[in-house]
């Protein structure tokens, strides 16, 4: 029997020209400046962590596809992109087995257990980060010593802020060094140079891989709350610029918060999501035992995505008025 020449499928008949491979390639490429900054700061250890993360993520992806009976899809680049992004959350001293366990959790609990790529309600990278941080906090926060000769402290900026207060942290880490990157700064691979992360973020926005609303709202939420408490008690709370430039704020805003399956799809939802993630980041940094709150803040905000998607949802083929959506009808109907 001949196949039908004309097949009608369910509408809407729209093609965006954005394939999974293209999105993942863009994400992978956007992380290369941050990886280069980490290599400049930590040497071959940074490449070791990134390499193990990418290779182990690909191996786990192939194995789990076999286990769950799914077609092999390693060529879509998702395992490599997510593996490299996960490596940006790790210290250069991370042992190989810790990286392999993290990528296993990432692929198993963040992808395959829910049915595959795009079906996950939670960000797999943040699930893996939370699992390792709660299980091996010592290894996850074992940052290498800065390689500069004139360092004032071997602690990461947010650890210095938590332990000694805003004045000592500001003296040890000038804002220019925090932004451009310095061998006086230590932390996770993706936290060394916000400028490098910003370059990758601009690339993602320029290629329309991610929306600009989420990063902008994240920075606004973090800066607003940090500025408010800085005004109320400057001896206890650091400046908004310090909070924006220290730690993983740029990495979380551009690379993690806009995760496609776990972030809202409406403009209003994106705005609320980014503001909430930024505010939670400051709250965790200021009032919890964890010096860095970006990744936990984004994870908690992503739990509200199903609710945020219900804020003024866009109806295909309709335009909104102040009262209700007005559907377009053909003439004469």
Beta strands in the chain (DSSP E): 318-320, 325-327
Who's near 101: CB < 8 A, 6+ residues apart? 132
Task: For residue 258, count CB atoms less than 10 angstroms from its CB and return exposed for 0-12, middle for 13-18, buried for 19 or more.
Answer: buried
State residue 257's pLDDT score: 96
Whether the pLDDT of residue 305 is over 80: the answer is yes
- 260 belongs to a structural domain: yes
> Could you tell me the two tokens for 279?
């505010």
| Rounded distance between C-alpha atoms, residue 55 and residue 76, angstroms | 15
- 15 belongs to a structural domain: no
Measured from the Cβ of residue 324, the count of other Cβ atoms closer than 10 Å reads: 8
pLDDT digits (tens, 9 = 90+) for 262-304: 999 999 999 999 999 999 999 999 999 999 999 999 999 999 9
Whether the pLDDT of residue 183 is over 60: the answer is yes
| Bridge partners (DSSP) listed for residue 319 | 326
Which range of residues forms the domain containing residue 213?
A: 20-308
Give the domain CATH number at 276: 1.10.3430
Whether the pLDDT of residue 14 is over 80: the answer is no
- 318 belongs to a structural domain: no
Among 245, 241, 239, 272, CA closest to 257: 272
- 3 belongs to a structural domain: no
- 138 belongs to a structural domain: yes
> Could you tell me the two tokens for 86?
């996960």
- 321 belongs to a structural domain: no
The number of domains in the chain is 1
pLDDT bracket for residue 329 (50, 70, 90): very low
State residue 332's pLDDT score: 46
- 295 belongs to a structural domain: yes
Whether the pLDDT of residue 333 is over 50: the answer is no
- 38 belongs to a structural domain: yes
pLDDT digits (tens, 9 = 90+) for 81-107: 999 999 999 999 999 999 999 999 999
Percent of the chain surpassing pLDDT 90: 75
């Amino acid at each position: 029997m001949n196949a039908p020449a004309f097949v009608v499928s369910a509408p809407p008949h729209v093609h965006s020209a954005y394939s999974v491979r293209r999105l993942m390639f863009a994400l992978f490429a956007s992380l290369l400046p941050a990886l280069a900054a980490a290599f400049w700061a930590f040497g071959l250890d940074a490449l070791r962590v990134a390499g193990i993360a990418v290779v182990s993520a690909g191996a786990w992806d192939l194995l789990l596809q076999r286990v769950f009976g799914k077609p092999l899809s390693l060529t879509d680049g998702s395992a490599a992109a997510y593996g490299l992004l996960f490596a940006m959350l790790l210290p250069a001293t991370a042992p190989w087995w810790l990286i392999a366990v993290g990528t296993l959790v990432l692929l198993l609990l963040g992808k395959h257990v829910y049915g595959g790529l795009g079906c996950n309600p939670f960000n797999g990278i943040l699930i893996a980060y939370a699992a390792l941080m709660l299980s091996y906090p010592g290894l996850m926060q074992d940052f290498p010593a800065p390689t500069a000769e004139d360092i004032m402290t071997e602690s990461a900026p947010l650890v210095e802020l938590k332990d000694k207060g805003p004045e000592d942290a500001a003296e040890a880490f000038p804002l220019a060094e925090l932004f451009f990157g310095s061998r006086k700064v230590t932390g996770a691979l993706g936290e060394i140079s916000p400028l490098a992360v910003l370059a990758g973020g601009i690339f993602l926005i320029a290629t329309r891989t991610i929306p600009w609303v989420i990063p902008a709202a994240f920075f606004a939420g973090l800066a607003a709350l940090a500025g408010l408490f800085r005004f109320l008690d400057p001896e206890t709370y650091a400046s908004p610029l310090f909070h924006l430039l220290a730690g993983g704020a740029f990495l979380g805003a551009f690379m993690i918060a806009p995760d496609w399956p776990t972030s809202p799809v409406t403009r209003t939802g994106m705005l609320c999501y980014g503001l909430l993630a930024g505010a939670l980041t400051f709250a965790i940094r200021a009032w919890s035992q964890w010096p860095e709150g970006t990744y936990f803040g984004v994870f908690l905000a992503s739990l509200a995505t199903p609710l945020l998607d219900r804020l003024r949802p866009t109806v295909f083929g309709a335009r909104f008025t102040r009262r209700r959506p007005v559907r377009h009808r053909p003439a004469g109907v």
